[in-house]
Amino acid sequence: MKVSRRQLLAASVGSVLSAGSLRAAPTIHVKKRRVLRVLGTHVTLQETLRKQAEADLGIELQFQPGGSGAVLYQASTRPESFDLYEQWSNSIRVLWRSNAIQAIDTQRIRHWDEINGLTKEGRVTPAAKLGAGDSPEKLLFVQPDESLGSNATNRVSFLPYVHNVDSFGYDSAAIPRGKPYETESWSWLLDDAHAGKVAIVNEPTIGLFDLALAAQSKGLIQFDDIGNLSRKELDGLFSILLKFRQAGHFRGVWNSVPQSVKLMSSGESTIQSMFSPAVFDLRSRGIDCVYASPKEGYRAWHGVMCMSSKTQGDTQDTAYEYMNWWLSGWPGAFIAKQGYYISNPQRSRPHLTQAEWDYWYLGKPASEDLKGTGGTTVVRQGQVRDGGSYERRFSNIAVWNTVMPTYEYSLQRWNEFLSG
């Protein structure tokens, strides 16, 4: 076979270039972006928080928000489906007993020493009421025998961060304003005047206590310990509630904050179980929703961030970075603008204006209009926060969200109530 000089030169050059390319090409290692899967509710799994954390930490956050009952079921049965879990302290007993979460090392939490006494001791001030049920310190520390208790150790079942006191919200255009801590009462939820316009949160460790407080306040039943209802007391309570249900007293139940907002904004309900973001969302829409300060005391909750029992290695390191980010200042200031508190508030103070700090934490009249997390005005100049200051609100706790020893039975009765 004859090969021309031109073909030979072309072939030679091609071979040289190819060989040179093979020798000179550097090995490129592309670092995979770290991914963290966070399971929880719409309360904390918000897009603004996700974007800010991703920017600050250089990670990818995959938020999986859902209703409180649904995400608790997923977390307790499928720990491999998430890396971190965000909800409320009433989740802890279920998650710990099912081995769905692992202990968190407080020595890896950067601002652990700044976390206030509410979480570690159950009281924001020495004179504050402890409240019935599962106050957070009872569930926080992992004991040497792997049980949970209040004796301080370096291992905890959850990162303490967001918390608040809850009550019910009502539309002041339909229901005249009451006096905080004097006339506003849980009994309003069972007042005949509001029949057909009452909505309840669909969560047996939360909504059940709203209705238990309502029934007791109305004088329909008396409990020995509202944070630990017996089977007999549950039977008595649900016997009462089923009669209200069958009479059409309840408009329905809601599973998420957006659903609760829709119920009141559409006029379907005028009074209901409510979480703080819904109150300020409604106000931004021009609805004068009042967040009641019941004379009997609030139902309190403490946010928990838990680590899946399956989270290990680099993912675990990323999880600790994200937990530390939550206590770094900015996130606490952000959630303050929707009515929530953070466990180390002083670190968030520089991220709030003096007017915001005075209104949200100190209970002072707003010295100017204040915007919420959505950028719209949610507080008008001169308004005072419902319930007053952080200390006053957390000094008046009736009961904490709780998983009682009778939880399984209460769940059965709750489902009967919903289908009744």
Hey, what domains does the chain have and what are their CATH numbers?
35-157+300-327 (3.40.190.10), 165-297+396-419 (3.40.190.10)
Length of the chain as a residue count? 420
- How many Å apart are CA 367 and CA 360, to the nearest integer? 12
Q: 227: Cβ–Cβ under 8 A, 6 or more apart, which residues?
A: 131, 132, 133, 134, 399, 400, 402, 404
Please state, for a pLDDT cut of 90, what percent of the chain lies above it: 81
* Positions of the chain with pLDDT under 70: 1-31
Q: Give the 3-state secondary structure of residue 180.
A: coil
- How many Å apart are CA 11 and CA 128, to the nearest integer? 88
Q: Give the 3-state secondary structure of residue 167.
A: strand
Kindly report the backbone phi and psi dihedral angles of residue 211, in degrees, each rounded to the nearest multiple of 5, phi listed first.
-75, -30
Determine the straight-line distance between the first and last CA of the chain, rounded to whole angstroms.
Answer: 94
pTM of the model: 0.85
Are 233 and 180 in contact by the 8 Å Cβ rule? The answer is: no
- Please give the C-alpha separations between residue 188 and each of 273, 278, 367, in angstroms, as whole numbers: 11, 19, 32
pLDDT at 203: 85
pLDDT at 420: 76
pLDDT at 69: 81
pLDDT at 119: 92
Tokens of 9: 């030169």
pLDDT at 158: 98
